[in-house]
C-alpha cells in the first residue's frame, strides 16, 4: 500500500510558460499572477507534465473548448499523473460525451431546478444556524473546519437521503479522489470502491423500503426505452452527486468568507444592502471560481490559433477564464455590485454544472446566516490560511477572530 | 424613441444556467429541466427594459437576444 499522507513529489516549477503544474505549491497558494503571466504569453500553453497537458488561459479559448465535445472528450475529467483505462458509467453524465450525455443529464436536471432548491432552502438555513450555534460564543474559529465544510455535505446528504452524520466519511473519500488521487491511483480506487459499496447498501435498503429521496428517484427513473437504469449507471450518478456537490461549494463559501474577512467595506455594504447578496455571490463565483475541469484531446484542432494534439489532456480552467481582463473590466478586482457578469464558474456548454442552482442557494444562505450572526470577523494573524490542491480550489483552514477588533 | 423590446432565448444555446430567470423573473420561464424560454411572446413590458438587457449581459451561453422593434 502506498503512503496515505505523501503523494508522489513533482519537481518545483521554474518555467511556468513551458512546464506549468497546477499541483505546484506556488499555484495552490496564489495562482492569479501565474495565469496573468501565461495569458500575456499565449491563449493556450502546454506542459509535458501529466503525460502532456494544455492550459487555455483566456475566456475565449476556454469557451471554444467547452463548446466542442467532438474534439475534446469528457471521458477523463481530471488531469492526473496516470491515464488509467476509461470505464463506462464512471460518473454520468459528466464523464460522457454526446450522444450518451444528454439523456443522462436530462434525468438529473429536474431535482436541481431553482424551484426545487427553494424547497430545500429552509433545511440549509437550519444547518447553517446549527453550525454557528456550535462556535458563535468563542472568540476564534477555523471557519473551514467548523462551518463551510459541513454545509454542502449535509445538504446533499439530505437530498440523497443518506445520514448527515456520515459526513466525515464522505469528506474523506472526496479528499482521496480529488486531491490525493491525482498522484495516487490506489487511493483513488479505494475511495471509489468504498463509496460504491456504501451506495449499494442504500440501494438494497430502498428495494425493501422505498423513500422519496434522490436515490429512490434514480432507482425509479426510466431510460428512453422505458427500462430502469442499469445499476452501474445509478451508482455512477450517485457517486457524481456526492463528489461534485461537496468540495466545490465548500470552497466557494470559504473563499467568499475569506474575502469578507479581509474586506470590511464589502462586509458592511452587504449588511447594509442585503439585496446586493445575489450579485455579490456571482462576483465571488467569478473571482474565486473553485472548479477546474479537464478534457482529453481526441482529434487534432486549433484553439485561438494554437494547434492542440490528441493524446494530451486539457486543464479547462474556468477560474483563469474568469480573470481574463478582455472579458471582465477590472478582472482582478472583486466588485460586489458588478452588473455584467457572464462568468464561467459553472462551466459552459453541455456540461454546465447540474448543481449550479444548489450551489448558488447554499452560498447565499451560508453568507446571509453568517453575516446576520457574525457581522464582525477577520483573519487570525496567528493562524495560517491553507488552500486545497488541484481540481477544486478553496480554503481548507480559515482561522478567524470573531467580534470587533479591539 | 419609444421602441418596444422583445426577448428571445435560443433553445439550442441555452444550457439552463437560470441567470435570466433570477435577474428578470417577469421575462423568462424555466421548463422542468431548468431550461429557459421567453415568457409569452417575449414582449418586454414598459419599465422592464433594463432587466431585459441585464439578463442578456449575464447569460453565460449568449443565448438571449433582445430585439428592438
Ligand atoms: S441564462 Fe442563458 S443559458 Fe441560462 S437559462 Fe437563461 S437563457 Fe438559458
Check if B6 has its Cβ closer than 6 Å to any atom of ligand 1. no
CA torsion A26-A320-A104-A244 (nearest 10°) is 40
d(CA A192, CA A172) in angstroms, rounded, equals 11
Residue B35 Cα: closest atom of ligand 1: 5
Angle between helices A264-272 and A277-287 (to 10 degrees): 150
Does the C-beta of B37 come closer than 6 Å to ligand 1? no
Cell for A169?
Answer: 466519511
Say yes or no: CB of residue B18 within 6 Å of ligand 1: yes
Helix (H) or strand (E) holding B67: strand B64-68
- Give dist(CA A142, CA A135) in Å, integer: 10
In the three-class reduction of DSSP (H, G, I as helix; E, B as strand; rest coil), residue B19 is classed as: helix
Indicate which residue's Cα is closest to atom 2 of ligand 1.
B59
Give the pLDDT score at A11: 93
Predicted confidence at residue A296, as pLDDT, reads 95
Would the pLDDT of A292 be above 60? yes
- Measured CA to CA, the distance from residue A38 to residue A33 in angstroms comes to 9
Cα separation, A373 vs A113, in Å, equals 29
Mean pLDDT of A303-312: 96
**Segment A92-105 mean pLDDT:** 83
What percent of chain A has pLDDT above 70? 97
User: What is the CB-side half-sphere exposure of residue A19 using CA atoms within 13 A?
Assistant: 6
Residue A9's pLDDT is what? 78
- State the pLDDT confidence band at A406, using cuts at 50, 70 and 90: low
**H helix and E strand count, chain B:** 2, 4
Rounded to a whole number, what is the distance in Å from the CA of B61 to chain A's nearest CA?
7
- Please answer whether residues A394 and A259 qualify as being in contact, where contact means their C-beta atoms are separated by less than 8 angstroms: no
**Would you call B18 and A114 a contact, using CB atoms and an 8 Å cutoff?**
yes
Q: Is the pLDDT of residue A233 over 70?
A: yes
What's the CA-to-centroid distance between B18 and ligand 1, angstroms? 5
For residue B63, the model assigns a pLDDT of 97
Mean pLDDT along residues A79-97:
77
Per-residue pLDDT of A34-47, as tens digits, reads: 999 999 999 999 99
Is the pLDDT at A164 greater than 70? The verdict is: yes
For residue A4, the model assigns a pLDDT of: 42
- At a CB cut-off of 8 Å and minimum separation 6, what does A84 contact? A185
Work out the pLDDT band at A293, boundaries 50, 70, 90.
very high
A347: left (phi over 0), alpha (psi -120 to 50) or beta: left
- The C-alpha torsion from A355 through A358 and A362 to A365, rounded to 10°, is 160
Q: Is the pLDDT of residue A6 over 60?
A: no
The number of beta carbons lying within 10 Å of the beta carbon of residue A159 is 22
Res A271 pLDDT > 90: yes
* CB contact set of A157 (below 8 Å; sequence gap of 6+): A163, A164, A166, A167, A170
pLDDT at site A2:
37
Span A387-404, pLDDT tens digits: 988 788 999 999 999 998
Q: Mean pLDDT throughout A145-151?
A: 95
Q: What is the largest CA-CA distance in chain B?
A: 38
Q: Is the pLDDT of residue B8 over 70?
A: yes
Average pLDDT, chain A: 92
- Residue B33 contacts A where some CB pair is shorter than 8 Å: yes
Neighbours of A304 (CB within 10 A): 16
Q: What is the mean pLDDT of residues A67-92?
A: 82
Please determine, for residue A374, whether its predicted confidence score (pLDDT) is greater than 60. yes
pLDDT, tens only, B14-65: 999 999 999 999 999 999 999 999 999 999 999 999 999 999 999 999 999 9
Question: Out of A59-63, A122-126, A351-355, which region has the weakest mean confidence (pLDDT)?
Answer: A351-355
Out of A114, A340, A350, name the one closest to residue B58 (CB). Answer: A340
Q: How confident is the model at residue A270 (pLDDT cuts 50, 70, 90)?
A: very high
pLDDT at A89 over 70: no
With a cut of 80, say whether residue A5 has pLDDT above it. no
pLDDT at A8: 58
Phi, psi dihedrals of residue A31, rounded to the nearest 5°: -80, -15
What sections of A231-384 are H helices per DSSP?
231-262, 264-272, 277-287, 318-321, 356-373
> In this model, does residue A33 exceed pLDDT 90?
yes
Q: How far apart are CA B34 and CA A21, in angstroms?
A: 37
- Indicate whether A3 pLDDT > 60: no
ipTM of the complex: 0.94
Amino acid at each position: 500500500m502506498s503512503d496515505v499522507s505523501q503523494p508522489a513529489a513533482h519537481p518545483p516549477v521554474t518555467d511556468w510558460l513551458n512546464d506549468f503544474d497546477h499541483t505546484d505549491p506556488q499555484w495552490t497558494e496564489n495562482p492569479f499572477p501565474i495565469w496573468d503571466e501565461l495569458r500575456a504569453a499565449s491563449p493556450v500553453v502546454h506542459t509535458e507534465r501529466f503525460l502532456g497537458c494544455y492550459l487555455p488561459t483566456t475566456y475565449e479559448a476556454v469557451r471554444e473548448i467547452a463548446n466542442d465535445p467532438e474534439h475534446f472528450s469528457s471521458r477523463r475529467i481530471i488531469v492526473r499523473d496516470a491515464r488509467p483505462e476509461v470505464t463506462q458509467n464512471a460518473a454520468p453524465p459528466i464523464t460522457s460525451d454526446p450522444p450518451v450525455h444528454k439523456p443522462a443529464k436530462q434525468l438529473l436536471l429536474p431535482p436541481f431546478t431553482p424551484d426545487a432548491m427553494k424547497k430545500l432552502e429552509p433545511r440549509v438555513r437550519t444547518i447553517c444556524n446549527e453550525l454557528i450555534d456550535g462556535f458563535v460564543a468563542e472568540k476564534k474559529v477555523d471557519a473551514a473546519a467548523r462551518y463551510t465544510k459541513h454545509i454542502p455535505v449535509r445538504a446533499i446528504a439530505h437530498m440523497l437521503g443518506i445520514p448527515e452524520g456520515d459526513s466525515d466519511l464522505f469528506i474523506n473519500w472526496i479528499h482521496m479522489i480529488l486531491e490525493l488521487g491525482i498522484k495516487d491511483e490506489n487511493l483513488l480506487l479505494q475511495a471509489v470502491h468504498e463509496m460504491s459499496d456504501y451506495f449499494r447498501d442504500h440501494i438494497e435498503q430502498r428495494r425493501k423500503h422505498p423513500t422519496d429521496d434522490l436515490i429512490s428517484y434514480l432507482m425509479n427513473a426510466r431510460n428512453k426505452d422505458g427500462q430502469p437504469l442499469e445499476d452501474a449507471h445509478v451508482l455512477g450518478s450517485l457517486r457524481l452527486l456526492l463528489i461534485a456537490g461537496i468540495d466545490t461549494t465548500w470552497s466557494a463559501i470559504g473563499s467568499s468568507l475569506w474575502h469578507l474577512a479581509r474586506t470590511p467595506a464589502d462586509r458592511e455594504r452587504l449588511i447594509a444592502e442585503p439585496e446586493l447578496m445575489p450579485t455579490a455571490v456571482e462576483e465571488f463565483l467569478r473571482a474565486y471560481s473553485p472548479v477546474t475541469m479537464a478534457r482529453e484531446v481526441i482529434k487534432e484542432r486549433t484553439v485561438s490559433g494554437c494547434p492542440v494534439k490528441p493524446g494530451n489532456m486539457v486543464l479547462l480552467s474556468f477560474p483563469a477564464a474568469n480573470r481574463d481582463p478582455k472579458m471582465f473590466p477590472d478582472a482582478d478586482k472583486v466588485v460586489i455590485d458588478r452588473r455584467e457578469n457572464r462568468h464561467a464558474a459553472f462551466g459552459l456548454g453541455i456540461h454546465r454544472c447540474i448543481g449550479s442552482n444548489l450551489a448558488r442557494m447554499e452560498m447565499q444562505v451560508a453568507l446571509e446566516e453568517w453575516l446576520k450572526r457574525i457581522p464582525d470577523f477577520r483573519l487570525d494573524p496567528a493562524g495560517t490560511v491553507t488552500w486545497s490542491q488541484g481540481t477544486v480550489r478553496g480554503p481548507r483552514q480559515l482561522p478567524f477572530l470573531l467580534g470587533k477588533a479591539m | 424613441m419609444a421602441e418596444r423590446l422583445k426577448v428571445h432565448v435560443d433553445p439550442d444555446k441555452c444550457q439552463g444556467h437560470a441567470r435570466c430567470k433570477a435577474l428578470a423573473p417577469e421575462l423568462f420561464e424555466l421548463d422542468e429541466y431548468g431550461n429557459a424560454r421567453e415568457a409569452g411572446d417575449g414582449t418586454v413590458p414598459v419599465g422592464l427594459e433594463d432587466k431585459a438587457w441585464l439578463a442578456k449581459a449575464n447569460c453565460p451561453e449568449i443565448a438571449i437576444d433582445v430585439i428592438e422593434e
